[in-house]
Amino acid sequence: MIRNLLVYLTHPHVEAWKFQERHKEQISIHLPGVKLVVVWHSSDFLAKLPEAEACAVWYFRSEWLKKADKLKLITTPAAGTDWIKVDSGENLQVWHGGFHGPLMAESVVGAALYFCKAFGPSREYQEKKKWARVKISQKITSLHGARVTVLGFGRIGQVIARKLKSFGCQVTGVKRKMIDPPEFFASQDRVVTVEKLKEVLGETDHLIVVLPGGETTDGLLTADHFQCLPQGSFFYNVGRGNVVTEEILVQALKDDSIAGAYLDVFSTEPLPESSPLWEMGNVLIQPHLSAASPHYLDLYFDELIERLKREVGV
């Protein structure tokens, strides 16, 4: 039973990642038996931590556990494990946000349409006041019938795949361990293990990477993988930037192993100004924002409230 919740969710720049008054009301209405304590500074958080049974945070350091004898739950909106330096155990659970899939799917679909419908070249000709109908039309493709490979076919990857299926895509999910195909798959769709990655890349028009960071995914994609892709294919990374080195990616773009790339994550963030990726016309860059939304924390607290009711009995 969780009787109090310590919230330390603030951000120096992005308003959607800050705890708001409406979130306080959201918790008070649905969890009336939980005492809510909200802090805005790390010093205040550490001062209140000894009494907390649960805390909602962006990051948590392992040494803080010495001050947290009553702590039963650490919960974070983040999907990745980068900032919570604690593992779940018998007496302490760590929960990560699971609501990111639809938000990230919007970004991936938007990027795919950007490439397929030649919005980049259209903008360039617009700035030149050129009615380049023929030239632009030669660059336009379609998601209908496109062969999509989702590398990292977990919860987020499957949500992205479901969205793309509505456009008529053929989807291959790639996962470390074999799973049954999801219910929305059609007969031409499939799930394979990572051992067959090079094989499926040869039949891929859009390669979408949704892998976590860590040693198991460091440098997973090599130059050989990009050379397996058909000419004219596109690459998307909304997982972590460690999956491929910048040098390999830049070369793949230069030698037309891929026609374009949507990059939301990078091995070094912020992406250095010296990176050649900034100036490549076939690259669409976002600064780690594929899951950004004005509803971000609303969705997180919706999920957290239901999970607390279901799993903890609040």
Is 288 a known active-site residue?
yes
Which pLDDT value is given to residue 96?
A: 96
**Do 82 and 157 sit in the same domain of this protein?**
no
The tokens for 93 are 């659970």
- Output the CA angle 238-117-110, nearest 5 degrees: 30
* CB 26 within 8 Å of CB 45: no
- Output the CA angle 289-294-296, nearest 5 degrees: 70
Point out the catalytic residue in the list 30, 96, 288, 307. 288
User: Does a structural domain hold residue 159?
Assistant: yes
**Do 280 and 154 sit in the same domain of this protein?**
yes
Of 86, 63, 82, residue with least CA distance to 74: 86
Which pLDDT value is given to residue 1?
A: 84
Q: Please state, in angstroms and as integers, the Cα–Cα distance from residue 117 to each residue in 111, 133, 197, following that order.
A: 10, 12, 27
pLDDT string in tens for the chain (314-residue length): 899 999 999 998 889 999 999 999 999 999 999 999 999 999 999 999 999 999 999 999 999 999 999 999 999 999 988 899 898 888 999 999 999 999 999 999 999 999 999 999 999 999 999 999 999 999 999 999 999 999 999 999 999 999 999 999 999 999 999 999 999 999 999 999 999 999 999 999 999 999 999 999 999 999 999 999 999 999 999 999 999 999 999 999 999 999 999 999 999 999 999 999 999 999 999 999 999 999 999 999 999 999 999 987 76
* CB 148 within 8 Å of CB 172: yes
Annotate 16-54 with DSSP letters as a single string.
Answer: GGS--HHHHHHHHHH-TTSEEEE-SSHHHHHHHGGG-SE
Rounded to an integer, what distance in angstroms lies between the CA atom of residue 229 and that of residue 223?
Answer: 10
DSSP helix, strand, coil percent of the chain (3-state; round to 5): 40, 15, 45
Point out the catalytic residue in the list 199, 247, 269, 311. 269
**Do 157 and 84 sit in the same domain of this protein?**
no
The distance of Cα 155 from the centroid of its chain, to the nearest Å, equals 10
Q: Please state, in angstroms and as integers, the Cα–Cα distance from residue 99 to each residue in 134, 156, 171, 241, 242, following that order.
A: 42, 8, 22, 21, 23
**Do 74 and 167 sit in the same domain of this protein?**
no
Of 276, 293, 277, 279, residue with least CA distance to 237: 277
Is 203 a known active-site residue?
no
User: Does a structural domain hold residue 135?
Assistant: no
Which pLDDT value is given to residue 313?
A: 74
Which pLDDT value is given to residue 283?
A: 98
Is 269 a known active-site residue?
yes
Of 2, 1, 4, 9, residue with least CA distance to 60: 9
User: Does a structural domain hold residue 221?
Assistant: yes
**Do 148 and 274 sit in the same domain of this protein?**
yes
Which pLDDT value is given to residue 161?
A: 98
| H or E segment to which residue 165 belongs | helix 155-165
**Do 232 and 307 sit in the same domain of this protein?**
no
Residue 193: give its domain's CATH number.
Answer: 3.40.50.720
**Do 183 and 231 sit in the same domain of this protein?**
yes
User: Does a structural domain hold residue 205?
Assistant: yes
**Do 233 and 149 sit in the same domain of this protein?**
yes
User: Does a structural domain hold residue 122?
Assistant: no
| H or E segment to which residue 7 belongs | strand 4-8
**Do 169 and 250 sit in the same domain of this protein?**
yes
**Do 255 and 303 sit in the same domain of this protein?**
no
**Do 41 and 154 sit in the same domain of this protein?**
no
Contacts of 31 (CB under 8 A, 6+ apart): 5, 305, 308, 309, 314
User: Does a structural domain hold residue 84?
Assistant: yes
Number of domains the chain contains: 2
Amino acid at 25: E
User: Does a structural domain hold residue 130?
Assistant: no
Amino acid at 229: L
Q: Please state, in angstroms and as integers, the Cα–Cα distance from residue 41 to each residue in 2, 11, 13, 260, 285, following that order.
A: 23, 11, 15, 42, 32
User: Does a structural domain hold residue 124?
Assistant: no
Residue with tokens 């209140």: 48
Cβ-defined contacts of 81-89 (< 8 Å, 24+): 81/212, 82/213, 83/58, 83/59, 84/57, 84/59, 84/60, 85/59, 85/60, 85/61, 86/60, 86/62
**Do 221 and 304 sit in the same domain of this protein?**
no
Domain range for 207 is 142-285
